[in-house]
Amino acid sequence: MHRLVAAAWVLVWVLASIGPVAPVAGAQCPVATFSYKHGVVTFAEHGETTRVRVEVADTDASQEFGLMCRTSLAPDAGMLFWFADTTQDSFWMKNTLIPLSIAFLDDSWRVVGLMDMAVAPDPQNGPFPLYAPKAPYRYALEVNQGFFAQHSIDAAAQVTFTATTP
């Protein structure tokens, strides 16, 4: 019996550390039918290195789902949107309950835009402001709002990505 309780606590800890998907009363939250890939995005700047554990959204389904309906995100976690080609498409915060900051990165992993994204007054129905940089981008990293400012990350950061296993 103690092993079962211990196993349950381990499962709760693992799910909490990756930022669980949690339904919200009244929100229409899709059920994920896919698994995210994982990795680490590293920012090097001003003699400091900052790492973000990421789930990688690299399919239409995972990109549409994103961070919907989550009620929290670990301080060092984020969602990396990996597009097949450069784009200038906008992001929005439908069913997103966490205020976020987003870094837009070009083909060479250079920062081409940083901005904060607020939770919509009505996360299910909007209105939803659109967020996009002025320059084309290939990758977008969503993290807790204020993360980039807290770590003094700006357009001069050198950014790398390393794939990991969950």
Q: Tens digit of pLDDT for each residue in 10-22?
A: 332 333 333 433 4
Q: What percent of the chain has pLDDT over 70?
A: 81
Tokens of 141: 């990293």
Q: Pairing between strand 77-87 and 48-57?
A: parallel
Q: What is the pLDDT of residue 34?
A: 81
What domains appear along the chain, each with residue ranges and CATH number? Answer: 2-164 (2.60.120.1140)
Q: What is the pLDDT of residue 132?
A: 97
CA distance 4 to 24: 29
* Nearest Cα residue to 107 out of 73, 82, 72: 82
Q: What is the pLDDT of residue 165?
A: 84
pLDDT in tens, 41-75: 999 998 999 999 999 999 999 999 999 999 999 99
Going by pLDDT thresholds of 50, 70 and 90, the confidence category of residue 155 is very high
* Nearest Cα residue to 141 out of 57, 74, 33: 57
Mean pLDDT, the chain, integer? 85
- Sheet with 137-144: list strands edge to edge: 111-117, 100-105, 137-144, 77-87, 48-57, 37-45, 158-164
* Nearest Cα residue to 50 out of 165, 147, 142: 147
pLDDT in tens, 19-46: 433 434 445 676 677 889 999 999 999 8
Q: What kind and span of H or E run contains 4?
A: helix 2-17
Q: What is the pLDDT of residue 33?
A: 73
Tokens of 18: 């990756």
